[in-house]
Structure 1
Amino acid sequence: MILAVISDSHDRIDVLADIVEELNEADAVLHAGDLISPFVLRTLEKVKPEIHAVYGNNDGDRRTLYEWGLKYGVRFHGDFLVMKELGLFMSHNVESYKEALISSGKFRIVIGGHTHRAEIRKEGETLFINPGELCGYLTGRRTYAVVDVDTKDARIIEL
């Protein structure tokens, strides 16, 4: 299974629109928070694979994000997402407990966002992924990640 992992898009409809084709090549898309405004979800309607998202610290209007998400094919899971069948955990800001998640042995893949810094790290049997920022505001780099769940092969894609 191939996952496209994005985070911190911060209202960048233009960048989301630019990667719709790439997202459509994945089996599923995960968004690790900070979409920001509900109107951004309209752009994701063109994405064919299922989209799972968690809320970020800047996602203020959670109720409308959730409701519009249902309309445009984005399923919000709250502050964190656990996909037991994949051994996957995702939350926006995992920095304070990232090491505990990784060393727990409970997850094959741990995904976080928030820092805007792209990172892929394998520790033991656990793969940690921060796809960086799709918006490019803090680092000047617009990035996302692609991960093969079966092989745990992951890479950062820079636009």
Structure 2
Amino acid sequence: MIAIFSDTHSTSGHELTGDALNAAREADAVVHAGDFTSEAALEAFQSECDHLFPVHGNADDPSVKDRLPTARVVEADGIRIALTHRREGGQTGLAMFGRSRDADVVVSGHTHRPTVIETDDVLLLNPGSHADPRGNRPGFAVLEPRGTDDADDSATQIEGEIRTPEGTPLASIDYSNE
């Protein structure tokens, strides 16, 4: 399982509770699309997650920005994820960012709005913010590869959910780029 977070905006810690905390602790990989805000929040995530792959966001302290890249590609559970906090050009810019990195999924943050958009060749996912939703539902996401009996091994099939920190599903993900 891959757990996906963004926009923690904390000066003191990871702000993870309930199902979100369990997912961070149990995931094979955790990606965070930036805006920890403080080193304390980043380090709290690092202490909970065995395999954390973060990028920095626009609201991160300079000490966090110095430690993290602006963008990265992560391969976990057979899923290739292009990760950034935000990308100019909206949906089109995010899709182009993913295509240029041969990604199955583009994870971004910044809007604090849990969002899933399926395109023909890349899934766009914003998990929202588990700690600072700013008028949206608080959220985080989980993804897993979906087994297939199809003879086309080149297709990536992914299932998952955007959930509230307590575990209530906000959106289902059932995606294939075949």
Normalising by the smaller structure, the TM-score range is 0.7 to 0.9
Structure 1 residue matching 2:16: 3-state secondary structure: helix
Alpha-carbon shift at residue 52 of structure 1 (Å)? 0.8
> Do the aligned partners of 2:95 and 2:122 also contact (CA within 8 Å) in 1?
no
Cα offset for 1:134? Answer: 1.8
After TM superposition, list the pairs within 5 Å mapping 1:74-85 onto structure 2: 76=68, 78-83=69-74
Aligned length: 148
Q: Please tell me whether the aligned partners of residues 112 and 129 of structure 1 are also in contact (alpha carbons under 8 angstroms).
A: yes
Aligned residue for 1:15?
Answer: 15
CA offset at residue 138 of structure 1? Answer: 0.9
Deviations, residues 54-103 of structure 1 (Å, cap 9, x unaligned): 0000012235862xxxxxxxxx3x10011367432110012521132356
Superposition map of 1:126-145 within 5 A? 126-145=122-141
Q: 1:135–1:83: structure 2 CA closer, same or farther, 3 Å change rule?
A: same
Give ranges in structure 2 of 5+ residues lacking alignment: 147-156, 166-178
Deviates more, 1:148-157 or 1:129-138: 148-157
Task: Compare the two structures and name the one with the higher helix fraction.
Answer: 1
SS of 2:111's equivalent in the other structure is coil
* Amino acid aligned to 1:157: R
Contact residue 7 and residue 131 of structure 1 kept, 8 A: yes
Q: Identity percentage over the alignment? A: 26
For residue 110 of structure 2, what is the amino acid of its counterpart?
Answer: H
Residues 147 and 155, structure 1, Cα contact 8 Å, conserved in 2: yes
Structure with the greater alpha carbon radius of gyration: 2
Moved more, 118-127 or 96-105: 96-105
Q: How far is the alpha carbon of 1:14 from its aligned partner?
A: 6.4
Structure 2 residue corresponding to 1:111, chosen from 87, 107, 112: 107
**d(CA) in 2 for partners of 1:126 and 1:46?**
31
- Return the match for 1:90 from 61, 83, 88: 83
Correspondence 1:30 to 2:26: no
Match of 1:72 in 2: none
Partner of 1:70: none
The answer for the alignment partner of 1:155 in structure 2 is 161
Q: Secondary structure at the match of 2:116?
A: strand
The one-letter code matched in structure 1 to 2:42 is L
Rounded Cα–Cα distance in structure 2 between residues aligned with 1:41 and 1:100: 28
1:125 counterpart residue number: 121
Give unpaired runs (5+ residues) of structure 1.
67-75
Query: What RMSD in Å do the two structures reach over aligned CA positions?
Result: 2.6
Q: What secondary structure is seen at the aligned counterpart in 2 of 1:90?
A: strand
